[in-house]
Amino acid sequence: MKNAIIKQYSKSSLQLSMKWQAIWLTTALLCCYAVGSAAADALPVITLEKGLKIVTEKSRVVKIAGFGESIAESDVHVARSALLPRIDASAGHTNLAHQPAMTFNGMAINTS
């Protein structure tokens, strides 16, 4: 049953939901911090818009999810590269001043 539910969601939708969970969690933490420090007048008030901007710029989880997207995009490029033509070439040359030989029972035997 659990595997059927997991297969139902695609990888990108899970990544997207993880992003939103991270954003909401960080926003909630920022709001709790703002409420807890409301007694101190020296601290600035953070609006929801400003808080979301801070979260999206500095959140570790959001950055990791963004890197996951760029990795997936690179994988797509690698997979599509198999559809492009490919040319392979190889060459070799040996240049010897003297032909190699070995001596066996007094006889010279060429080795190449």
Confidence at 13, pLDDT banded by 50, 70, 90: low
Question: What is the share, in percent, of the chain residues with pLDDT greater than 70?
Answer: 75
Q: Is residue 106 part of a domain?
A: no
Residue 16 belongs to domain spanning: 8-84
Q: Is residue 99 part of a domain?
A: no
Q: What is the pTM (predicted TM-score) of this model?
A: 0.31
Q: Is residue 12 part of a domain?
A: yes
How many domains, in total, are found in the chain?
A: 1
Q: Is residue 91 part of a domain?
A: no
Q: Is residue 105 part of a domain?
A: no
Question: What is the share, in percent, of the chain residues with pLDDT greater than 90?
Answer: 18
E strand residue ranges, the chain: 101-104, 107-110
State the maximum Cα–Cα separation within the chain, in Å, rounded to a whole number: 104
Q: Is residue 111 part of a domain?
A: no
Q: What are 25-53's pLDDT values in tens digits?
A: 788 777 767 665 555 556 678 899 998 88
